[in-house]
Amino acid sequence: MSVVEERPGGGRSPRDAVDQAGRRRTFAVISHPDAGKSTLTEALALHARVIGQAGAVHGKAGRRGTVSDWMDIEKQRGISITSAALQFEYRDAVVNLLDTPGHADFSEDTYRVLTAVDAAVMLVDAAKGLEAQTMKLFAVCRHRGIPVLTVINKWDRPGKDALELMDEISERTGLTPTPLTWPVGIAGDFRGVLDRSDGSYRRFTRTAGGATIAPEETLSADAALAREGEAWQQAVEEAELLGASGQDHEQSLFLDGVTTPVLFASAVSNFGVGALLDTLVDLAPAPSGMPTAEGAVRELTDPFSAFVFKVQAGMDTAHRDRLAFIRICSGVFERGMVVTHARTGRPFATKYAQHVFGRDRESIDVAYPGDVVGLVNANALGVGDTLYADRPVQFPPLTTFAPEHFAVCRGRDAAKHKQFRKGIAQLDSEGVVQVLTSDRRGDGAPVLAVVGPMQFEVATHRMEHEFGAPVDLDRLPYSLALRTDEASAPGILAAARNAEILRRGDGELLAVFPDKWGLRVLQQNKPVLLLEPLVAAQL
């Protein structure tokens, strides 16, 4: 990173925060499962030359796992189950790239990541188009005002027609697609792309297994026609149609969420990835002021502030430490500074601060708005917490989704009760599961509540392999949870035989029901009882 000018007597000025924030590009990659997110993440790091060889595809004999998928269970299943942060420099920019889990069962983790980014790359499978989870994630981006850049991936495989995909994007998202590149060759016959900015041809050459950067050759239009013939002519004609219909990039419309720039790529072959990286640096917005819980804006030049959007343990098996990921919102972060933990009002020392690259980490001395920083052994911090220096601020709390699946968790080995309790507490603080308790069941048999059942697999795997406390889960018949209070709890239990009252770690009482029918009867017969909906899992 560049050296910043220090003020007389030490320290860095508010101007440094603005200048350095202008270099930051903080974005997430979102899509339906198996569209190639982790592969694209790896390919971007490869093109930035921060890794020498891409792991590329899960499950291939002799191939490495991707940098961003480092958990054992991710390698076994071949999917991302937790978000991962990678920071690297490219050209004169500092890139903070957040890879998100695509599976709907981990949508809460994805939602939290989307609170910490300034742009999103929406990855679309060329053969499948816009799938359900992609649309749900897009809706979150639109709600949060996050500009979206679209990548049509897997163009090296048979798929839909390119113009058909543009129509689908327009009809289903409401955004006008403005392709920056256009494929030469139909899906499954990916030769290169037409660069719409200058009409040139970027021709790709395959490398062995896609493990290294694919060489690109830039040819003039005449040379492209001579080499590719009909395929080039078709690409030119289709690009002209796009121009005639007004599908040309305009930066203000992109930032306002009216259009989405489109690129064609094959992440597994590293085709078109360099163009994506350049586009992100050139077009994606830099950080700006962050809205506060009070409705004001914390400007970049204000004193340091940040919020915790993720907590992760088990990244360093040798030390069993706990990492809190913070998104810096304003000011300059300097390692060792003592900040205030807004939720408790207590001071928090930042002695151990690190930049993260997948599972690998290195200590840092300074960071700026837009950066994602890992605070080590931050046991006092939880998801959604705000940190600040000097002038107090509180950022909006992060949403906790309404769980839809419930199971009683019991340790298999009574001698490992201490490890059991530590592991359950850790999973709760990370947001992997919600941990609910009741007088009826006691602390030794908490109820784990999740949005999707695959979260149970993650919890049991981590309890055994990270904490050394194997567990058994007994599924409960509940599918609905509503907020209630102490006064209403006895009435709910008396009127609804199949309901149960459970307490969340933050003290909230939840009434859980097997289905909506029993709940409706209760609400009709006992309308005075407090039963408030939690936020639904809308991803």
Could you tell me if residue 217 is inside a domain?
yes
Residues 197 and 255 occupy one common structural domain: yes
pLDDT, position 79: 45
Is 15 domain-assigned?
A: no
Rg of the chain over Cα atoms, rounded to whole angstroms, equals 25
Neighbours of 31 (CB within 10 A): 25
Residue 538 lies in a domain: no
* Assigned domain for 7 exists: no
Q: What pLDDT does 102 receive?
A: 53
The residue ranking higher by pLDDT, 465 or 285, is 285
Q: Are residues 122 and 198 in the same domain?
A: yes
Task: Examine the pLDDT at 250 and tell me if it is beyond 70.
Answer: yes
- State whether 517 and 383 are in the same domain: no
| Residue 103 annotated as part of some ligand binding site | yes
Using pLDDT thresholds of 50, 70 and 90, give the confidence band for residue 107: low
Are residues 462 and 485 both part of a single domain? yes
Share of the chain above pLDDT 70, in %: 87
pLDDT for 468? 93
Q: Answer with the one of 354, 388, 422 that is the final residue of a domain.
A: 388
Domain that residue 349 falls in: 290-388
Residue 9 in this model has a pLDDT that exceeds 60: no
The mean pLDDT of 48-66, rounded to a whole number, is 49
Confidence at residue 53, expressed as pLDDT on a 0 to 100 scale: 56
Asked if residue 378 and residue 412 are part of one domain, the reply reads no
Asked whether 129 and 177 are in contact (CB, 8 A), the reply is no
Q: Check residue 214 and give its pLDDT.
A: 80
pTM of the model: 0.80
Residue 485 pLDDT: 95
Specify whether the CB–CB gap between 372 and 356 falls below 8 A: yes
Q: What is the pLDDT of residue 394?
A: 97
Q: Are 423 and 356 in the same domain?
A: no
pLDDT at 32 over 80: yes
Asked whether residue 57 falls in the same domain as residue 184, the answer is yes
Distances 233 to 130, 200, 238, 247, 366 between C-alpha atoms, Å: 28, 13, 9, 19, 51
Query: Do both 216 and 332 map to the same domain?
Result: no
Chain segment 508-538, per-residue pLDDT in tens: 899 999 999 889 989 999 999 999 988 644 4
Q: Are residues 75 and 223 in the same domain?
A: yes
Q: Is 459 helix (H, G, I), strand (E, B) or coil?
A: helix
Q: Which residues lie below 8 Å from residue 26, measured CB to CB, with a gap of 6+?
A: 95, 96, 98, 116, 117, 118, 119, 287, 327, 370, 371, 372
Q: Of the segments 221-230, 399-408, 440-449, which one has the largest average pLDDT value?
A: 221-230
Give the pLDDT confidence score for residue 101 in this predicted structure: 67
Domain count within the chain: 3
202-228 pLDDT, tens digit per residue, is 999 887 766 778 888 999 999 999 999
The values of phi and psi at residue 105, to 5°, are -65, -20
Same domain? For 500 and 445 the reply is yes
Structure tokens that stand for 438 in this block: 């009741």
Residues 232 and 359 both lie in one domain: no
Residue 271 lies inside a defined structural domain of this protein: yes
Q: Convert the pLDDT of each residue in 150-204 to its tens digit.
A: 999 999 999 999 999 999 999 999 999 999 999 999 999 999 999 999 999 999 9
* Domain boundary residue, one of 253, 283, 313: 283
pLDDT per position as a tens digit, 286-298: 999 999 999 999 9
CATH number at residue 312: 3.40.50.300
Domain membership of residue 12 (yes or no) is no
In a domain, 11, yes or no: no
Q: What is the mean pLDDT of residues 429-451?
A: 87
Cβ atoms of residues 383 and 327 within 8 Å: no
Beta strands at 346-349 and 338-341: parallel, antiparallel or unpaired = antiparallel
Residue 315 — very low, low, confident or very high, per pLDDT cuts 50/70/90?
low
- Domain boundary at 223, 248, 283, which? 283
**Residues 415, 311 share a domain:** no
Task: Give how far the C-alpha of residue 11 lies from the chain's centroid of Cα atoms, to the nearest Å.
Answer: 33
Is 327 inside a domain boundary? yes
Question: Is 99 within any annotated ligand binding site?
Answer: yes
Which of 181, 19, 23 has the alpha carbon at shortest distance from 91? 23
**What's the rounded Cα separation, in Å, for the pair 73 and 76?**
5
Q: Which residues pair with 255 in a beta bridge?
A: none
CATH number of the domain residue 441 falls in: 3.30.70.3280
